[in-house]
Amino acid sequence: MKRKAHLFGIRHHGPGSAALLKGALDALDPACVLIEGSPEGDDLIQYAGLAGMNPPLAMLFYATDEAANAVFAPFAEFSPEWVAMQWALTHKRPVRFIDWPASVSLALGKLAREEALAAFQKKLEEEEAGAETSANTEAVVSDSSSVRLDPLDLLAEAAGHSDGESFWNGLIEQGADSQSPLEIFAAIETAMTEARQHQADAGGMSETEWLRENRREAFMRGHIRDALKTYEGEVAAVVGAWHIGGLRAETTVAEDRSIIRDLPKIKVEATWAPWSDGRLSYASGYGAGVISPGWYRHLWGLYSGERREGPEAFAAIWQARTAALLRQEGFDASTASAIEAARLALGLASMRGLSVPGLAEMRDASLSSLCHGDHVQLAMIERQLYIGDRIGEIDAAVPQMPLARDFEAWCRKTRLKPDEAANDIKLDLRSEAGLLKSTFLHRLNLIGVHWGRLIDAEAGRGTYREIWKLVWSPDMSVGLAEALVWGLTIEQAAGAATIDRGRKADDVAQLSDLVRGALVADLPDAASACIDLLQAAAVQSSDITDLMNAVAPLVRIVRYGTARKLPEPELRALINALSAEVNAGIRIGSRQLDDDATSKRMMAMRAYDEALGLFADVALLEEWRRQLALIVDDDQVVTPVVGFSLRRLHDLGLWDETQIAAAFSRKIIGETAAKAGAFVEAFIAGAAEVLIQDQALLFLIDEWLCGLDEEVFVESLPLLRRALSGFDLIGRKRIMERIAGGRTERPVAMETTEHNPAFERALPLLKQILGMDA
């Protein structure tokens, strides 16, 4: 009789599957263990048994010459693959992975992305030329859009269950306490083989998907044949239940070799990386994720031997944990209510024919007895309870991944030590040590590892001083692992991540921030790439608000960024181009804006006006101020923009008191209370001290208020209150005192100012700093 391997069909990250697998391995006592996974991970298995390896963890496979081409293979302590590794290492049995190599899967993935991009570009070209989409492109689109049927849904329908998820959970994940695991795996094999055949007959997968599965299974069959030849004892293969039907197919060695012949390959590296509960969940976008890692860990504690309790204690422990989390959020959750919730969960399980309560029963019981039907209370603790917050740890003996090694090298170089306690550091960017630390922290932020956060108000402007708050969190090690897809060093990863983010940016303001981020992180290549992207986006953009928002951060860099090497000519040319676009379109672009767009426009105008004053380009300033005057005289421009423009003309002294008063009167007399109030609000925004010192401006507004009739005055009160809400109590009091004192004539100064050459030399710089005409 021909020998066959024992195929154990499991669900990835299923605690019931893991418990059954452990029992099956104990009963079978195989000579070797084979696991679905990339063979490049074989050398990493030896580290899985070290004491310091605490899941969730992941094997990371990445292309040697392109770290962005990578894939993670995560493991939790309740993952059957992890249990299989632990069993083999404990019993000193050979163990290895048998899926297709990562060198093949990553090469094929890269090729598929390139082909899809080429097809998409070809489609765009044909559409632009007015031609119909070619048949090849249609084939690509239709093939990729096929819907794959879930075989578990087919089994659930046959068994009378609502969906495959609940069917599998009730049968396997929550019913794993069995004395005959080998029989259960035999039943799984029969059921999944039938479901797979049904799916094939129904056309539930595209030809591309079937080819991919057949290639993977050809590799697996080859490894299984080799193991049967090498070992005399039983051979156990732990694979996804879906693959069993394919692995049992009667094929020859020649047939399997022909289907995998000439597949592309690339050089691949593999390493262990810490992982997290959040990244094991469906919510993270992980295709093989589970809905509730926290719940599965609770189940694993029941099945793995860590706890020996019946359904009563099982339910009580979960509900006690739920009650404790609710109390942490400030809700009332008594012990008596937790006991009642546990009893209710057991009752629901009994009514639904379950040996132990499932997640649905536990949730319903918690909602009823602990949350009194309030879904908000349960939502407050969902992530901690159902997802979990555990972060994996790597044993010190395991060779570090490249990015982690580079991170530690930077820590030694900068003398920064990760610490979970908050720590403030002050950096002087004129010193080599200070600039090095700043560069390191800025680069980490670009790859999503937010160890440091700028807290000083002026730090974002690139001055010589930065103040950072450092707080290290264990999940940042996961962030380092994920960032490895961008590069093997902090510098490479930060640069590649910035460029990729720039290519995906939606507007020019985002690109401007990326340019600034690349410059302060000392990434000249990434900065140049983002500058090119920004220039291209600015040409296509018709949103004046975005263009104004893009100018401010660039000006701050040029103005204050002298601690770092900057491409100043390129930046100045970019600022000039963006500003010219703004000046040309600000008046026409400020017509017929809705409330939200107007609010964003006002914030952008204030930032742009300040930035332009700092940039001190005479031609740009003159054109901007000319546009402000045109805006005031344009009746179609939205009222708040007019109010801001008139105020700037007043502050800069470009219009005299008579002109300001005339324009002010035109914009409020005969207007509705809402429109007049919006104008005044924009006109006096942030002007408490200005109103106190500027008598003409103060009494201009006072005269307008005194001239309102009672009805209009009452309608205007809410708008006036909002306009003055930004003034502090002292400022309001001083304004009232000034008004009560009445208008006074300023005495003419008779004294002559003594000639001061030093002051006269400094005056142009002072005016430039204040944004005044030189």
85-123 per-position pLDDT tens digit: 999 999 999 999 999 999 999 999 888 888 887 887 777
- How many residues are there in the chain? 774
Per-residue pLDDT tens for 509-560?
888 889 888 988 989 889 889 888 888 887 777 788 888 888 888 887 777 6
Confidence of residue 495 (pLDDT cuts 50, 70, 90): very high
Residue 593 has pLDDT above 80, yes or no: yes
Confidence of residue 209 (pLDDT cuts 50, 70, 90): confident
Cβ-based neighbour number of residue 749 at 10 Å:
7
Cβ atoms of 96 and 39 closer than 8 Å: yes
Confidence of residue 280 (pLDDT cuts 50, 70, 90): confident
CA dihedral for 678, 681, 685, 690, sign (positive or negative): positive
Strand, coil or helix: 234: coil
Q: CB-based contacts of 141: which residues, under 8 Å, 6+ apart?
A: 119
Q: Provide the pairing of β-strand 66-75 with 95-97.
A: unpaired
Cβ-based neighbour number of residue 123 at 10 Å:
18
Give me the mean pLDDT over the 70-94 stretch: 93
Q: Which two tokens stand for residue 658?
A: 């008579």
Residue 69 has pLDDT above 90, yes or no: no
Average pLDDT of every residue of the chain: 82
Q: Which two tokens stand for residue 282?
A: 């469906």
Q: Which residues pair with 675 in a beta bridge?
A: none
- Report the distance separating Cα 148 and Cα 482, nearest Å: 28
Cβ atoms of 21 and 188 closer than 8 Å: no
Cβ atoms of 579 and 586 closer than 8 Å: no
DSSP summary character for residue 426: E
Give me the mean pLDDT over the 500-507 stretch: 86
Residue 64 has pLDDT above 80, yes or no: yes
Q: CB-based contacts of 476: which residues, under 8 Å, 6+ apart?
A: 418, 449, 450, 451
Which CA distances in Å does 51 have to 55, 56, 96? 11, 14, 20
Q: Which of 25-29, 386-390, 474-478 has the highest mean pLDDT?
A: 25-29
Cβ-based neighbour number of residue 204 at 10 Å:
18
| Model pLDDT, residue 327 | 93
Give me the mean pLDDT over the 743-760 stretch: 59
Query: Could you write out the DSSP letters of every residue in 610-624?
Result: HHHHHHT-HHHHHHH
Residue 361: CA count within 13 A, CB half-sphere? 26
- Report the distance separating Cα 566 and Cα 243, nearest Å: 56
| Model pLDDT, residue 751 | 46
Q: Which two tokens stand for residue 380?
A: 């407050």
Give me the mean pLDDT over the 727-736 stretch: 69
Confidence of residue 254 (pLDDT cuts 50, 70, 90): very high
Give me the mean pLDDT over the 215-232 stretch: 94
Strand order from edge to edge, sheet including 268-274:
66-75, 57-63, 268-274
Confidence of residue 457 (pLDDT cuts 50, 70, 90): very low
| Model pLDDT, residue 164 | 62
Q: CB-based contacts of 578: which residues, under 8 Å, 6+ apart?
A: 508, 538, 547, 550, 551, 554
Taking alpha carbons only, the member of 320, 314, 321 closest to residue 299 is 314
- Report the distance separating Cα 597 and Cα 575, nearest Å: 23
Which CA distances in Å does 652 have to 604, 702, 767? 19, 22, 11
Confidence of residue 459 (pLDDT cuts 50, 70, 90): very low
- Report the distance separating Cα 8 and Cα 172, nearest Å: 13
Q: Provide the pairing of β-strand 452-454 with 423-428.
A: unpaired
Least confident interval from 79-88, 226-235, 530-539: 530-539
Give me the mean pLDDT over the 376-403 stretch: 87
| Model pLDDT, residue 55 | 92
Place of tokens 């707080």: 471
Residue 724 has pLDDT above 70, yes or no: no
Residue spans of the domains in the chain: they are 6-111+173-275, 309-387, 402-486
Which CA distances in Å does 547 have to 47, 431, 533, 535, 584? 53, 35, 14, 11, 12
Residue 342: CA count within 13 A, CB half-sphere? 20
Give me the mean pLDDT over the 624-635 stretch: 89
pTM of the model as a whole: 0.68
Confidence of residue 140 (pLDDT cuts 50, 70, 90): very low
Determine the number of helices (DSSP H) and then strands (DSSP E) in the chain: 34, 10
Residue 755 has pLDDT above 80, yes or no: no
Q: For residue 6, give the H/E element and its range.
A: strand 6-10
| Amino acid in the structure at residue 225 | R
Q: CB-based contacts of 108: which residues, under 8 Å, 6+ apart?
A: 212, 263, 264
Least confident interval from 181-185, 213-217, 684-688, 758-762: 684-688
CA dihedral for 451, 455, 459, 464, sign (positive or negative): negative
DSSP summary character for residue 637: B
Confidence of residue 460 (pLDDT cuts 50, 70, 90): very low
Give me the mean pLDDT over the 24-29 stretch: 93
Strand order from edge to edge, sheet including 32-35:
6-10, 235-240, 32-35, 95-97
Distance of CA 42 to the CA centre of its chain: 32
Strand, coil or helix: 11: coil
Q: Which residues pair with 74 in a beta bridge?
A: 58
Per-residue pLDDT tens for 638-649?
888 988 888 888
Q: CB-based contacts of 22: which residues, under 8 Å, 6+ apart?
A: 83, 87, 304
Taking alpha carbons only, the member of 485, 474, 476, 472 closest to residue 402 is 485
Taking alpha carbons only, the member of 483, 406, 494 closest to residue 446 is 494
Radius of gyration of the chain (CA): 34
Taking alpha carbons only, the member of 80, 90, 83, 96 closest to residue 32 is 96
| Model pLDDT, residue 258 | 93
Residue 763 has pLDDT above 90, yes or no: no
Residue 136 has pLDDT above 60, yes or no: no
Least confident interval from 358-362, 373-377, 382-386, 722-726: 722-726
- Report the distance separating Cα 188 and Cα 377, nearest Å: 39
Residue 461 has pLDDT above 50, yes or no: no
Percentage of the chain beyond pLDDT 70 is 80
Q: What angle do CA 736, 740, 745 make, to 5 degrees?
A: 115
Taking alpha carbons only, the member of 391, 398, 553, 537 closest to residue 474 is 391
Per-residue pLDDT tens for 657-676?
778 778 877 877 667 767 77
